Structure 1
Amino acid sequence: MRILHCLSTREFAGTERHLAELSAIQARTHDVTLLLDRNTVDPLTGGDISGFLCPEVKVVRAGVAGYLPALASELRSGRHDIVHTHLGRASARASWLRRAGLAGSVPVVATLHTSYRSRSYGAHDGLVCIASWQQETLPAKQRETSALIPNWTVPPGSTFAARAALRERMRREWEIPDGGVVIGAAGRMVEEKNFGLLIQAWKQAELKPGTRLVMVGDGPERGALQQAAQGRPDIIFTGYRTDMPDLLAAFDAFIVPSRHEPFGLVLLEAMEAGLPVCATAAGGVKDILADAPDCLVAPDSLGALMEGLRRLEGATPRQWDMSRYRIGVAASKVEAFYRRFR
């Protein structure tokens, strides 16, 4: 099958990692092309999907005229059997071209990495939902041509010895005392991740002196968050890291305080690492922890986060069943979904 993925982005976060991994496994048995912007480097973090792509994936860059003409050319080229868009910018352009009769006859599908918007996805033939809340909010017509295919996590590529060495090195760098508990949080530092409330809960939870909160990531709110944590050596900011999810080996527990999580990939990665977790019952997190309600807390609740932190401080490693969140399972379902429209 000749597959064209379309993504217009200038950052490297969960969606970009999702697409890099999906296109890599598809390229083992299919002809896979990825249409990207001319420049894909995040100006804040330097993150770039280009460095994570499989060599077998053909990359096409938009030219000086922009993404829309490049996408129109690919849609009408006859070189692709299916077109798969990701995120709003690429998806909205594909929808516009279809409504304008400028997209040719190739089937176009999209993965909903966030919320459904008619402007972006209303002209697509089919939609992949990564969480049940998305499918429940689709208009009836789109729901009939949708599929629920969760994201996945990939088992650590490094050896146990390498992860143990990373754990020792990072805890030494962070000056974690002997017997100290490290609770981690990670993500783009934006309002919906609610890291500000997490810092407030941490200050009031009255945890043991050796317990530390390590916050991984960067974003527009980082300065304000560091200001809120000023004078608290027990709150550590690592900045943007390229060694996730291996870095999770340095943690003893993990917390997700988001107001809303479309899916919750970093939560899956923490569970893959065998960490006890606490997450707000928001979005896709409710699917992931449907069988572990003890790990869920109310969204946007200071008291709930405080209680979650106290529980994590005394928690032990936990073995999670990750079988339904394997990339091979998801890739097979995506391929079957494509075939519905050919």
Structure 2
Amino acid sequence: MRILFALSGFHRYDRGAEVALLSVASELARTGDEVTVCGSGTERSDTPYTFRHLPAIGREKFEKFPALPGFRNETQWEDATFAARLAMSGEAGRYDATVTCGFPYANMALRRGRKAGAKHIFVTQNGDWPAFSDKSEYRLFSCDGLVCTNPSYYARNKKRWPAALVPNGIDLTRFGPDAAAGRAMRERLGLPADKPIVLMVSAFIETKRVLDGMRAIAELDNAVLVVAGDGPLRGKGDALAAEILPDRYHRVSLPATGMPDLYRAADAFLHMSINESFGNVFLEAWASGLPVVAEDSVLTRWILGDKQYLCDTTKRDELVATLRNSLSSGARAGKSGIERFTWPVIAAQYRSFIEQVIAGSARPDGAAGPFANAADAA
């Protein structure tokens, strides 16, 4: 198959959506498909796919721009500048299938390829609102196949679109326990060796609730909070930390290559988002052997089961107690069961669904994928 993956952040950012889709693209290319990736970053060595650079204005430039329908946040502003180039390039019509999670503009640009016979697949990495909402710009959404990254999205959309339930994955050759590497990372970042480290890997945006996590950590006696992330609320986070977490807060920015050792440097992992589309960080923390403290939801139980530290994160007392328990137990999370989330397994499910979409055999409430039974149980 000839497949195009297009997203403004490719090769420019290493956030959840970019990591997930590039991992799928890489696996498909390694196993014989002709894969092209379009993004606004620069070419990287040793990628198994072909990369095409299309310029875009970075989302950081748009953080203070107004929020409007179609331009609701800095990511959509960036998407618009990328999609204009994508549409003019004519790339979409050269492939059997196109794939994106960018909405509205990248999705609209790729739909142009349908005139040349390309089938278009949308992935709900950033939410499924485009697939079911009839408000504002969401009325413009369409696709030939919908990849749903969690069971709630699949249940909501499977009768409307040809859909498959396919989660994100994990590279177990990169993420795994390594005490020596963790100690070295602590030393590199200037983190104390004698205090527990709680790690958050989250963007500084409202939905990630990083500031709420900081307030909970402040109630622990000596825990140090490390946040790997950036975003419009970084200034508020730094100011709050100076007030309630003096000498117990570090905001760091590391390349993707440094993230496995950052997980290894921590004693527990905290994620505060309530409405995740998936959450690659859950798998990364799990693979690294960290106890995971997160919202008790259908999604987290579907991914993690009931062996982690799940609670109602909106209740401060319950969250603080759960954090304290995760740090005091001394238990490291086992890796049993995580193999079903490895990228070769996930990419094979993408290939099967894309083949069905190209062949025209994918129908609403038809192609589900092997994770659908687990979703029904959840």
* TM bracket, shorter-chain basis: 0.7 to 0.9
Correspondence for 1:134: 153
Match of 2:86 among 61, 70, 88: 70
Match of 1:305 among 319, 331, 351: 319
**What letter matches 1:127 in structure 2?**
L
Match of 1:314 among 314, 321, 328: 328
Runs of 4+ in 1 over 6 A off after TM superposition: none
Query: 1:281/1:114 Cα in 2 relative to 1: closer, same or farther (>3 Å)?
Result: farther
Partners of 1:3 and 1:197 in 2: CA distance = 41
Unmatched runs of 5 consecutive residues or more in structure 1? 41-47
Partners of 1:225 and 1:337 in 2: CA distance = 41
**Residue 2 of structure 1 contacts residue 82 of structure 1 at CA under 8 Å; is this kept in 2?**
yes
Partners of 1:247 and 1:103 in 2: CA distance = 46
SS in 2 for 1:19: helix
Query: 1:14/1:120 Cα in 2 relative to 1: closer, same or farther (>3 Å)?
Result: farther
**Residue 176 of structure 2 contacts residue 289 of structure 2 at CA under 8 Å; is this kept in 1?**
no
Partners of 1:312 and 1:222 in 2: CA distance = 26
Correspondence for 1:213: 225
Partners of 2:292 and 2:182 in 1: CA distance = 18
- Following superposition, the deviation at residue 85 of structure 1 comes to 1.8
Correspondence for 1:31: 34
Correspondence for 1:59: 51
| Residue 186 of structure 1 pairs with residue 191 of structure 2 | no
| Residue 228 of structure 1 pairs with residue 240 of structure 2 | yes
Partners of 1:217 and 1:332 in 2: CA distance = 31
Partners of 1:293 and 1:92 in 2: CA distance = 42
The share of aligned pairs that are identical, in percent, is: 25
Deviations 1:174-219 (A, max 9, x none): 34243x3222111111111111111111223x43x3x322222222
**What letter matches 2:154 in structure 1?**
Q
Correspondence for 1:44: none
Q: When the two structures are superposed, what TM-score results if normalisation uses the length of structure 2?
A: 0.76
**What letter matches 2:164 in structure 1?**
A
Partners of 1:177 and 1:166 in 2: CA distance = 13
- Following superposition, the deviation at residue 12 of structure 1 comes to 3.0
Correspondence for 1:241: 254
**Residue 262 of structure 1 contacts residue 283 of structure 1 at CA under 8 Å; is this kept in 2?**
no
Partners of 2:289 and 2:108 in 1: CA distance = 39
Partners of 2:318 and 2:18 in 1: CA distance = 31
Correspondence for 2:343: 327
Q: When the two structures are superposed, what TM-score results if normalisation uses the length of structure 1?
A: 0.83
Partners of 1:34 and 1:309 in 2: CA distance = 40
SS in 2 for 1:284: helix
Unmatched runs of 5 consecutive residues or more in structure 2? 57-80, 132-137, 359-378
**Residue 3 of structure 1 contacts residue 30 of structure 1 at CA under 8 Å; is this kept in 2?**
yes
RMSD: 2.6
Correspondence for 2:268: 253
**Residue 260 of structure 1 contacts residue 283 of structure 1 at CA under 8 Å; is this kept in 2?**
no
**Residue 93 of structure 1 contacts residue 120 of structure 1 at CA under 8 Å; is this kept in 2?**
no
**Residue 63 of structure 1 contacts residue 70 of structure 1 at CA under 8 Å; is this kept in 2?**
no
Correspondence for 2:106: 90
**Residue 170 of structure 1 contacts residue 250 of structure 1 at CA under 8 Å; is this kept in 2?**
yes
Match of 1:151 among 152, 165, 168: 168
**Residue 6 of structure 2 contacts residue 100 of structure 2 at CA under 8 Å; is this kept in 1?**
yes
SS in 1 for 2:294: strand
Match of 1:337 among 353, 358, 366: 353
**Residue 213 of structure 1 contacts residue 234 of structure 1 at CA under 8 Å; is this kept in 2?**
no
Partners of 1:25 and 1:341 in 2: CA distance = 19
Of 326-335 and 275-284, more deviation after overlay is shown by 275-284
Partners of 2:246 and 2:84 in 1: CA distance = 48
Aligned residues: 316
